[in-house]
A and B are shown apart, each in its own frame.
Chain A
Amino acid sequence: MHPLIKLVIQRLALGLLTLFVVSLVIFISIELLPGDVAQQVLGQSATPETLAAFRQKLGLDLPMHTRYLNWLGAILQGDLGTSLISGASITELLSERLYNTFFLAGFAALISVPLAVCLGVITALYRGTPLDRAINIVSLTAISVPEFFVAYILVFIFSVELAWFPSITNLSHDAGLGERLHRTFLPALTLTLIVTAHMMRMTRASLINLLALPYIEMARLKGASPARTIVRHALPNAIAPIVTVIAINLAYLIVGVVIVEVVFVYPGLGQLLVDSVSKRDFTVVQAACLIFSATYILFNLASDLISIASNPRLMHRK
């Protein structure tokens, strides 16, 4: 069997194991959190009597391991279950939000990844020049501002002052692609500003790290232009760290956008997850976390595969 295929199969199997451990970690964490669903839903109006009735209704009076095994049994049969609080089907609850989350992440990634790599190459090429410094200062400033603040500034400029884009997304079910892009532009721009600098800086650093190596010197001595040297000779060898940092940022775009969702009232998974954690709605938290974990594991696998494929030494190791 080709070593790469073997690796993929091995990693997918390990991925399933990871998902299992994640579900266990999440389950235990939620058990350790103060309060349970009953207390969180009833809030200040909780009395011992009402709590007992509530717990019995939801089966929370069963022992911990029984509840976990029941949930695991269902999930192995492909049943994500129902929300503890509303009793609504989790598949239904998640599907639209999942789509929204991927839509926004995809939108932001389409802008930010090409932009970051290009800027990284340009700054490595013109390192030390005013252009390099200007790009670095702008991107570093963007990255050093808290994301909600970036969002507020963009809202101030593009919604309040210019009135070009709406300040909250407020999507209706039947919105067309054009309207969707218009309404999600500001959140996507916010995310772009947040992730671009990180990817760009890593691209630049990895490239510069290679420029003094003998084979690059060789290419230069052979008379290759600086741009050609970087794009044709340095970039392929810098792929591993660049792809790793891109994978981290893509995963972040899907998993970590809670605050941007809150500020733009964007109905994605992150907000649902925070809601569900604070209500201790364990089944919903589990489902959302498993989706996030699976996403991360796949991105991670893909970035490792690309790294290996790009490095012959790793590809053909003894």
Chain B
Amino acid sequence: MHAALHEIRKIPPTALFGMLVITLYIIVAVFAPILAPYGESEIVAYEFEPWSSEYWLGTDSLGRDMATRMIYGARNTIGIALITTLLAFFIGCVAAFLSATLQGWVDQVISRAVDVVISIPTLIFALLLLTILGTSVYSLIGVIALIYSTFVFRIARAVAMGIVVMDYVEAARIRGEGLWWVMSREILPNAAPPLVAEFGLRFCFVFLTISGLSFLGLGIQPPAADWGSMVRENASLITFGDLTPLIPASAIGLLTVAVNFIVDWMLHKASGLKD
């Protein structure tokens, strides 16, 4: 108990702030139906009602409660972003470590396949795939994860290439350790820091990709709320100085900052620096 308290006290305030924010977001996402004052797509008033005790953040262009939409948005957005990023990192890292360890034709085949995917513009490739596969949530997750895994692959491979030539990896191989063992015990821990940094950013990029796709008429199906599309829907108001689109945008921004504060702390711990 004391040890745990001591550990917590050692966490820098920025990381604590990050954890607090993320905990809040998770609570909101999990208990959305209890917390939200109205139904997700329920029309409760006229459009663009100002902030009030009844409608905390006013109403949107169809007269739906903004606060409710934000709360449900947390659920849809974070869930999708998390699954997508995890999937992308799993695919990307496994492929990258295989490439780096085995080298030779395995590396060539995977790297060139990644080159093909990554060299086709992201939005165009997503547009092509989603138009072919349809725009269900599953295909959205699958397509974005596939595209992101190529970026993860590039970075993970670059880092892993530096690690596989290290003496300790050489030693493990000479000991006769299996491929999976080398990848998970030797390469992964040593490659983790830059990958964690990348994870922090990629996680937040998913929102942006979804909102970019809604620019092209793809994305999450209405009336489900997601923050990226909520920014898109109200974005043009900003050119008249109306701050409505800043609400979902700052929700994304706050989460990005929070996630990356924790990432920074983990980086710091992993580096073994004491200052």
A and B touch in the complex (CB under 8 A): yes
- Chain B contact-residue range equals 35 or more
Contact of B119 among A212, A292, A307 (CB under 8 A): A292
Is B108 at the interface (CB under 8 A from chain A)?
Answer: yes
- Which of A66-74, A78-86, A111-119, A203-211 faces chain B? A203-211
Q: What is the interface size of chain A, counting residues whose CB is below 8 A from a CB of the partner?
A: 70
In the bound complex, residues from chain B placing their C-beta under 8 Å from that of A204 are 197
In the bound complex, residues from chain B placing their C-beta under 8 Å from that of A251 are 118-119
Q: Please, how many angstroms separate the alpha-carbon atoms of A231 and B161 in the complex?
A: 23
Residue of A127, A201, A206, A295 with most partner-chain B CB within 10 A: A201
Is A164 at the interface (CB under 8 A from chain B)?
Answer: no
Considering the complex, which residues of chain A in the window 162-209 have a beta carbon less than 8 Å from any beta carbon of chain B? 197-198, 201-202, 204-206, 208-209
Q: A128-B12, A144-B252, A146-B232 are in contact. Are A202 and B197 (CB under 8 A)?
A: yes
Interface of B is mostly: helix
Contact, CB under 8 Å: B165 / A313: yes
Residue in B closest to A205 when the chains form the complex, CB atoms: B197
Is A76 at the interface (CB under 8 A from chain B)?
Answer: no
Contact, CB under 8 Å: B122 / A256: yes
Count, A-B residue pairs, CB within 8 A: 190
Interface of A is mostly: helix
Q: A152-B236, A259-B123 are in contact. Are A244 and B158 (CB under 8 A)?
A: yes
Contact, CB under 8 Å: B253 / A141: yes
Contact, CB under 8 Å: B121 / A22: no
Is A224 at the interface (CB under 8 A from chain B)?
Answer: no
Contact, CB under 8 Å: B194 / A149: no
Is B228 at the interface (CB under 8 A from chain A)?
Answer: yes
- Which of B30-38, B83-91, B256-264 faces chain A? B256-264
Is B140 at the interface (CB under 8 A from chain A)?
Answer: no
Is B26 at the interface (CB under 8 A from chain A)?
Answer: no
In the bound complex, residues from chain B placing their C-beta under 8 Å from that of A245 are 155
Closest Cβ–Cβ distance, residue A234 to chain B (whole Å): 11
Closest Cβ–Cβ distance, residue B50 to chain A (whole Å): 21
Residue in B closest to A34 when the chains form the complex, CB atoms: B131
Q: Please, how many angstroms separate the alpha-carbon atoms of A205 and B200 in the complex?
A: 12
Contact of A140 among B12, B115, B240, B257 (CB under 8 A): B257
Contact of A244 among B124, B129, B155 (CB under 8 A): B155
Contact, CB under 8 Å: A128 / B238: no
Residue in A closest to B229 when the chains form the complex, CB atoms: A146
Q: Please, how many angstroms separate the alpha-carbon atoms of A25 and B200 in the complex?
A: 31
Contact of B194 among A206, A273, A277, A296 (CB under 8 A): A206
Q: Please, how many angstroms separate the alpha-carbon atoms of A251 and B151 in the complex?
A: 12
Contact of B267 among A34, A153, A209 (CB under 8 A): A209
Contact, CB under 8 Å: A144 / B208: yes
Q: Please, how many angstroms separate the alpha-carbon atoms of A291 and B96 in the complex?
A: 26
Q: Please, how many angstroms separate the alpha-carbon atoms of A15 and B115 in the complex?
A: 9
Q: Please, how many angstroms separate the alpha-carbon atoms of A300 and B208 in the complex?
A: 24
Is B137 at the interface (CB under 8 A from chain A)?
Answer: no
Contact, CB under 8 Å: A241 / B194: yes
In the bound complex, residues from chain A placing their C-beta under 8 Å from that of B154 are 244, 248, 300
Is B187 at the interface (CB under 8 A from chain A)?
Answer: no
Is A145 at the interface (CB under 8 A from chain B)?
Answer: yes
Contact, CB under 8 Å: B273 / A208: yes
Contact, CB under 8 Å: A292 / B120: yes
Is A227 at the interface (CB under 8 A from chain B)?
Answer: no
In the bound complex, residues from chain A placing their C-beta under 8 Å from that of B212 are 146-148, 259
Is B58 at the interface (CB under 8 A from chain A)?
Answer: no
Contact, CB under 8 Å: B201 / A143: yes
> What is the interface of chain B, defined by CB distance below 8 A to chain A?
12, 14, 108, 112, 115-116, 118-124, 127-129, 131-132, 151, 154-155, 158-159, 161-162, 165, 193-194, 196-198, 200-201, 204, 207-208, 211-212, 215-216, 228, 231-232, 235-236, 238-241, 245, 249, 252-253, 255-257, 260, 264, 267-268, 270-273, 275
Other than the given A144-B257, A211-B273, A240-B158, 15 more pairs (CB < 8 A) read: A21-B116, A22-B119, A136-B260, A137-B257, A144-B255, A145-B252, A152-B238, A156-B241, A205-B193, A248-B154, A256-B122, A274-B127, A274-B216, A311-B165, A313-B165
Top-5 shortest CB links A-B = A144-B256, A296-B119, A205-B197, A293-B119, A212-B272
